[in-house]
């Protein structure tokens, strides 16, 4: 365990960038200045992040290679300390946060560069980059925090930045509504995180991720506590959820994760969040922030692994969200909405992976998803940019003729998410399917059921992504098409121009295409770091998995409960690890992989032949209207609360009952007064009279009582 004070640079560089842009940006009034400051700030984070993670130019081994997954720490100050409770402002990079820091800062950097092109000419340019930098600060704080409460700071911070950036186009009515909705839904989840932190603090007496004794701080970690005190996992019962043990903590944490990562039931904010600028959708609502929920679950794997009920819930919610969002994604016409639902669906996959105990695979999918989904979003941003802010795919078509680079790069993203071998998404998704199929921590049969759902979702993913590509890049040009349904309210926001008759889409500038190309390369080859043992022909170990395994806990299943005690952090013996690769397992994994390739191809073919010649095919209304979820929430929850608060609580209770009573007494006394004295008495004086009268009575009573008491 080592200390490295450079860690704080990773988070403070973007904060400095945000402050500089905030204070000077307007005065400088230069896109070059604002863009350069913002990109440089994130660039610094990226470089320092990689240095510490890989041990380049540092006195210690890289955080990704330390023995037993020990973290690199940086203790700044004790943030809060009361009684036995203590929360530090301290940072720590272990293998998990190291991987996160690397891809978050690198993808973030690319998106910053892209945004300098995309936001060109926007009058709030400096403000946009200040927010974007602030977001990087919060996100990196989230992953580098060395305890739950500081992580919660980042957790809320990214929520705030998301709020500010969704609402960035302040003139758009839908944007401000979406911003508030996002924040509030996140807050509902945050309640769970807060309660979980408090529950941990009170039961374990610590909320730290790492033992900090080696750097002279008297702090032990939650996970040490778990490994020392929890000998058997919680029982697999519903009662465990409210028992106040590991399962309660896990479920509360997962409530937070459903908010941040847009899972059922808190998923409706993410698609609406697409009202923000497209780089924001790519950075926050696809690649980084929304995966914070997965990070939280994996970070807490020691807790979840002792909470079978919670894992079961996680798996079910993940699978349900995956397929639910996929059905909606099939029927959307807005290019960003399709990608948004696809993100929700992919996040569902990640939680499914967590739920079957394949934490490492979840993180693997987080990473590959960050590559290809950032690529797809940026690609869609390039399309929108080239189409003069048109987002409706029904008015696109044949764009490959005009935007060849965008088309070619998006192709890799498409193949990656559809699950075609070699491309990044294939390996991670395939692993999730395999681990779901062979999961042993779920009740009998459930692993097959969830696997079937995941497979159907995979086919649907291939279909809707193919539909997106076909509608956008193939077919005939529909730039001037009238939209059939009038209910699509094209709000009169400033940046929405009517498309001129002689309109020709154009390819985007290099600041936008270069990030696309880099991400396309990553989407193509990035998955190879995690190539499974079985698929590599037994020649290569799963490098990604070997790296991460020491820092996540192994799920306890009923069978091995006894012997699994206290082995969460046992360092791996050799390169092989605990997992034996039996011949049957390898055969199974290969068979499933072959199957999923076939399914992906089927999905692509359905999409191709279903929409190539008929891109405007009518989709089921239920899917298009998102299963009426928004309407249900509004009618069922929001409206009753608002109406009740206004009519019952405020007007009924406050004004009616309490004030009415007080005023009534006042009037009564006033009446009596005027009757008795036959003079017109002012409001104030009657009140005064009332006070006096009441006071005398009360005092008299008390004196009488006090007298009795004393005498």
Partner 1 sequence: MEYLNENLLTILILLPAFGAVALIGHQLFWKEEAHLKWLTLAFTILNFLISLALLGNVAASENGFFFEKNIPWIEAINTNYHVGVDGFSLWLVILTTFIMPIAVISTWHAVEKRAPAFYVFLLLLESAMLGVFVTLDLLVFYLFFEASLVPMFFLIGIWGGKDRIYAAVKFFIFTALGSLLMLVAIISLYYLHLQATGTGSFDYITLLGSIQSGKLVLAGQAGTLLFLAFALAFSIKVPLFPFHTWLPDAHTEAPTAGSVILAGVLLKMGTYGIMRFNFTLFPEASREMAWIFIILAIIGIIYGALVAMVQPDIKRLVAYSSVAHMGFVVLGMFSFTEAGMQGALYTMLSHGVTTGALFLLVGFIYERRHTRLISEYGGLSSVMPIYATFFVITAMASIGLPFLNGFVGEFMIMLGMWSSTILSGNWNQVATMFAGTGVIFAAVYLLWMVQRVFFGKITNEKNKGLSDLSLREIGLMAPLLFLMVFMGVYPSLFLRESAASVRGIQKIVIGETTKGGTVDSPPEIGQVEKNLPDTN
318, 263 contact by CB (below 8 A): yes
| Residue from the set 12, 50, 89, 446 that interacts with partner 1 by CB under 8 A | 89
- Cβ-Cβ contacts under 8 Å for 214 (sequence gap 6 or more): 1, 73
Q: In the complex with partner 1, which residue's Cβ is closer, 598 or 703?
A: 703
CB of 693 to partner 1, least distance (A): 11
**Rg, the chain, Cα only:** 29
| Residue from the set 100, 183, 446, 544 that interacts with partner 1 by CB under 8 A | 183
Binding to partner 1 by residue 198, rule CB under 8 A? yes
581, 533 contact by CB (below 8 A): yes
Residues 529-558 touching partner 1, rule: CB under 8 A, are: none
Binding to partner 1 by residue 690, rule CB under 8 A? yes
CA distance 367 to 525: 12
Q: In the complex with partner 1, which residue's Cβ is closer, 214 or 641?
A: 641
CB of 33 to partner 1, least distance (A): 19
Binding to partner 1 by residue 153, rule CB under 8 A? yes
Binding to partner 1 by residue 658, rule CB under 8 A? yes
Binding to partner 1 by residue 126, rule CB under 8 A? no
Binding to partner 1 by residue 88, rule CB under 8 A? no
CB of 124 to partner 1, least distance (A): 9
| Residue from the set 32, 82, 498, 573 that interacts with partner 1 by CB under 8 A | 82
Q: In the complex with partner 1, which residue's Cβ is closer, 642 or 674?
A: 642
Binding to partner 1 by residue 194, rule CB under 8 A? yes
Residues 662-681 touching partner 1, rule: CB under 8 A, are: 662
| Residue from the set 561, 631, 659, 671 that interacts with partner 1 by CB under 8 A | 659
CB of 595 to partner 1, least distance (A): 44
CB of 10 to partner 1, least distance (A): 17
Eight-state DSSP code of residue 392: B
Helices (H), 119-172: 125-144, 148-166
Q: Which of 143, 146, 252, 151 is nearest to 199 (CA)?
A: 252
CB of 127 to partner 1, least distance (A): 8
Binding to partner 1 by residue 80, rule CB under 8 A? yes
| Residue from the set 54, 65, 79, 543 that interacts with partner 1 by CB under 8 A | 79
Taking contact as CB under 8 A, which single stretch among the options 63-71, 167-175, 210-218, 268-276 is the one that binds partner 1? 167-175
457, 327 contact by CB (below 8 A): no
Binding to partner 1 by residue 29, rule CB under 8 A? no
CA distance 499 to 394: 14
Burial of 124 (C-beta count, 10 Å sphere; 0-12/13-18/19+): middle
User: What are phi and psi for residue 613, nearest 5 degrees?
Assistant: -95, -10
CA distance 538 to 553: 25
Q: Which of 626, 571, 662, 515 is nearest to 69 (CA)?
A: 571
Strand partners, 387: none
Q: In the complex with partner 1, which residue's Cβ is closer, 273 or 593?
A: 273
Tell me the longest C-alpha to C-alpha distance in the chain.
107
CA distance 244 to 282: 38
How many chain residues bind partner 1 (CB under 8 A)?
A: 67
Show the tokens assigned to 576.
């092989």
CA distance 429 to 419: 7
Burial letters 546-570, b for 16+ CB under 10 A, else e: bbbbbbbbbbbbeeeeeebeeebbe
Q: Which of 348, 180, 173, 166 is nearest to 265 (CA)?
A: 348
| Residue from the set 495, 560, 561, 654 that interacts with partner 1 by CB under 8 A | 654
CB of 499 to partner 1, least distance (A): 23
CB of 584 to partner 1, least distance (A): 47
SS3 call for 85: strand
Of the CA atoms within 13 Å of residue 432, those in its CB half-sphere come to 35
Taking contact as CB under 8 A, which single stretch among the options 311-319, 476-484, 579-587, 653-661 is the one that binds partner 1? 653-661
Show the tokens assigned to 693.
């009268």
Binding to partner 1 by residue 188, rule CB under 8 A? yes
Show the tokens assigned to 231.
């000998």
Residues 613-652 touching partner 1, rule: CB under 8 A, are: 641-642, 644-646, 649-650
Q: Which of 289, 165, 150 is nearest to 209 (CA)?
A: 150
Binding to partner 1 by residue 705, rule CB under 8 A? yes
Task: Provide the CA 563 distance to its chain's centre, in angstroms.
Answer: 35
Which residue, chain included where needed, has tokens 């945004």?
115
CA distance 409 to 518: 9
CB of 13 to partner 1, least distance (A): 17
Binding to partner 1 by residue 171, rule CB under 8 A? yes
CB of 696 to partner 1, least distance (A): 10
Binding to partner 1 by residue 27, rule CB under 8 A? no
- Cβ-Cβ contacts under 8 Å for 618 (sequence gap 6 or more): none
SS3 call for 580: coil
Q: In the complex with partner 1, which residue's Cβ is closer, 202 or 213?
A: 202
Q: In the complex with partner 1, which residue's Cβ is closer, 539 or 680?
A: 680
Binding to partner 1 by residue 587, rule CB under 8 A? no
Q: In the complex with partner 1, which residue's Cβ is closer, 273 or 417?
A: 273
Vertex 342 angle, CA 341 and 346, to 5°: 120
Taking contact as CB under 8 A, which single stretch among the options 189-197, 530-538, 624-632, 671-679 is the one that binds partner 1? 189-197
CB of 228 to partner 1, least distance (A): 21
The DSSP H or E segment spanning 450 is helix 446-473
Q: In the complex with partner 1, which residue's Cβ is closer, 83 or 445?
A: 83
Binding to partner 1 by residue 694, rule CB under 8 A? yes
Chain contacts with partner 1 (rule: CB under 8 A): 77-83, 85, 89, 149, 152-153, 156-157, 160, 163-164, 167, 170-171, 173, 175-177, 179-180, 183-184, 187-188, 190-191, 194-195, 198-199, 201-202, 244, 641-642, 644-646, 649-650, 653-655, 658-659, 662, 683-684, 687, 690-691, 694-695, 698-699, 702-703, 705-706, 709-710
């Amino acid at each position: 365990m080592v200390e490295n004070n450079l860690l704080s640079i990773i988070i403070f560089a973007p904060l400095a960038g945000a402050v500089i842009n905030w204070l000077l940006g307007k005065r400088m009034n230069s896109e070059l200045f604002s863009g350069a400051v913002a990109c440089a700030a994130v660039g610094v984070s990226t470089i320092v992040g990689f240095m510490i993670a890989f041990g380049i130019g540092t006195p210690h081994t890289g955080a990704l290679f330390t023995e037993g997954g020990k973290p690199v720490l940086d203790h700044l100050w004790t943030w809060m300390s009361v009684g036995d409770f203590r929360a530090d402002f301290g940072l720590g990079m272990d293998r998990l946060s190291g991987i996160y820091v690397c891809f978050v800062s690198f993808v973030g950097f690319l998106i910053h560069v892209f945004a300098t092109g995309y936001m060109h000419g926007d009058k709030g340019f400096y403000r946009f980059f200040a927010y974007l930098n602030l977001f990087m600060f919060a996100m990196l704080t989230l992953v580098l925090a060395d305890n739950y409460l500081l992580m919660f700071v980042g957790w809320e911070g990214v929520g705030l930045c998301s709020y500010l950036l969704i609402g960035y186009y302040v003139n758009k009515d839908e944007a401000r509504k979406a911003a508030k909705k996002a924040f509030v839904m996140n807050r509902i989840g945050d309640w769970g995180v807060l309660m979980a932190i408090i529950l941990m603090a009170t039961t374990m007496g610590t909320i730290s991720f790492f033992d900090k004794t080696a750097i002279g701080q008297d702090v032990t970690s939650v996970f040490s506590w778990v490994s020392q005190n929890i000998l058997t996992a919680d029982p697999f019962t519903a009662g465990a959820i409210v028992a106040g043990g590991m399962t309660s903590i896990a479920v509360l944490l997962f409530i937070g994760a459903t908010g941040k990562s847009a899972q059922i039931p808190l998923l409706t904010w993410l698609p609406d969040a697409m009202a923000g600028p497209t780089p924001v959708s790519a950075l926050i609502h696809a690649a980084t922030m929304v995966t914070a929920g997965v990070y939280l679950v994996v970070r807490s794997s020691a807790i979840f692994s002792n909470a079978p009920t919670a894992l079961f819930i996680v798996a079910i919610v993940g699978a349900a969200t995956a397929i639910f969002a996929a059905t909606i994604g099939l029927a959307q016409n807005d290019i960003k909405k399709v990608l948004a639902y696809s993100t929700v669906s992919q996040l569902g996959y990640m939680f499914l992976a967590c739920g079957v105990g394949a934490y490492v695979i979840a993180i693997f999918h987080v990473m590959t998803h960050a590559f290809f989904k950032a690529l797809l979003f940026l690609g869609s941003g390039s399309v929108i940019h080239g189409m003069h802010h048109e987002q409706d795919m029904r008015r696109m078509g044949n764009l490959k003729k005009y935007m060849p680079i965008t088309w070619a790069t998006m192709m890799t993203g498409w193949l990656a998410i559809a699950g075609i071998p070699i491309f990044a998404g294939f390996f991670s998704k395939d692993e999730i399917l395999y681990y779901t199929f062979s999961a042993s921590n779920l009740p009998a049969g459930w692993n097959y059921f969830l696997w079937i759902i995941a497979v159907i979702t995979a086919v649907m993913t291939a279909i809707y992504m193919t539909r997106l590509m076909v509608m956008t890049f193939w077919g005939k040009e529909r730039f001037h098409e009238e939209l059939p349904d009038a209910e699509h309210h094209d709000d009169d926001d400033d940046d929405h121009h009517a498309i001129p008759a002689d309109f020709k889409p154009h390819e985007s500038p290099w600041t936008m295409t270069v990030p696309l190309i880099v991400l396309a390369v990553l989407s193509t080859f990035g998955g190879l770091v995690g190539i499974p043992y079985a698929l590599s022909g037994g020649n290569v170990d799963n490098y990604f998995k070997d790296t991460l395994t020491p820092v996540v806990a192994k799920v306890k299943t009923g069978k091995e409960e006894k012997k699994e005690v206290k082995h969460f952090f046992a360092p791996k013996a050799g390169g092989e690890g605990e997992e034996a690769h039996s011949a049957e397992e390898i055969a199974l994994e290969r068979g499933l992989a072959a199957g999923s390739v076939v399914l992906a191809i089927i999905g692509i073919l359905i999409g191709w032949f279903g929409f190539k010649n008929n891109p405007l095919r009518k989709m089921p209304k239920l899917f298009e209207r998102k299963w009426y979820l928004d309407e249900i929430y509004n009618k069922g929850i929001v409206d009753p609360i608002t109406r009740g608060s206004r009519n019952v609580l405020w007007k009924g209770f406050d004004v009616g009952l309490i004030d009415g009573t007080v005023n009534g007494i006042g009037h009564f006394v006033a009446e009596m007064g005027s009757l008795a004295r036959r003079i017109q008495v002012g409001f104030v004086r009657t009140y005064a009279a009332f006070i006096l009268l009441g006071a005398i009575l009360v005092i008299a009573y008390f004196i009488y009582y006090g007298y009795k008491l004393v005498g």
